[in-house]
Amino acid sequence: MGICEGRICIVTGAGRGIGREHALMLAEQGAKVVVNDLGGETDGTGRSTGPAQEVVDEITAMGREAIVNGDDVSDFEGAGRMVQQAIDTFGGLDVVINNAGILRDRMLTNMTEAEWDAVIKVHLKGTFGPTRHAAAFWREKAKAGEPVDARVINTSSPSGLYGNVGQTNYGAAKAGIAAFTVIAAKELGRYGVTVNAIAPAALTRMTENLGMGQADEETKEKMSPRWIAPIVTWLASPESKDVTGRVFDISGQALSVSEGWHRGPTTEPLDDPAALGPVVADLVAKARRNANMLGYDER
């Protein structure tokens, strides 16, 4: 018996990389898995059910249950079909793991509207759609007096929490997902649903062009996507029922809880903008520095 025995889970973008590891570990721990993936390139172009089918084949070879879903998570109706497929096939839904994503990295001065829109759509709307349809299902169950012990696990990023040059589109989407997580947790708790997020760092197709592909073997092992799956699997389990509204920063080197925005040094407001120079300088000098990509104060 695994910690997710009998849990019905959707994992988006589960054909490769981090999502694949989620799906396999969930299955190992007893879950029934809807493996969603478009099978496209890292920029979102192309389409194939091959990667998702390969993961399903691996899961069924374990003696576990899984099905392929090829819907586009950023299409609202497609997200609804995916949720309904889980319900129709397995008889319910317990967990939605929003993992699907693409990259269209570009410096802000050169970024096109299409590059901005595509990344925001896949990451941010692709988190909203599956969550919205699943939440409606769980709300109706709760209103009918049926027990609900459900999970939403979203995927933010260090780029969204701390900021990374060349990723204004991706970072903005991932920061939005972190905020979405906090707010959705407040809204859905009454229905028996927890909402958390991870900010993973791993070596995948998405990150190999960011310099990780040239890392030595020891570093590559520490940055393997398999390190991300344990916290996600635990969050998907009944054991995590008291944890909600949190973002976990996770890699093969560390697991931590990211702390959100807090009001820092404060003073009385002034109505004269000409007098603000020394006041702002004092506030900034007293404030904690912004974090670097490792989550620590910039130096």
3-state secondary structure of 32: strand
Nearest alpha carbon to residue 156 among 187, 113, 195, 192: 195
Q: Is 174 a catalytic residue?
A: yes
Nearest alpha-carbon partner for 258 in 177, 166, 186:
177
Task: Please pick, among 157, 237, 240, 251, the residue that the annotation labels catalytic.
Answer: 157
Pairing type for strands 247-250 and 255-258 reads antiparallel
Active-site pick, 156, 170, 237, 251: 170
Describe the strand order of the beta sheet including 193-200 as a list of residue ranges: 66-69, 32-36, 8-11, 95-98, 150-155, 193-200, 247-250, 255-258
DSSP string, 195-229: EEEEEE---STTTGGGTGGG--HHHHHHT-GGGTH
Task: Mark whether 191 is an active-site residue.
Answer: no
Where does residue 148 fall: left (phi above 0), alpha (psi -120 to 50 degrees), or beta otherwise?
beta
157 annotated active-site: yes
- Active site residue: 74, 156, 162, 174, which one? 174
Catalytic positions, written as ranges: 157, 170, 174
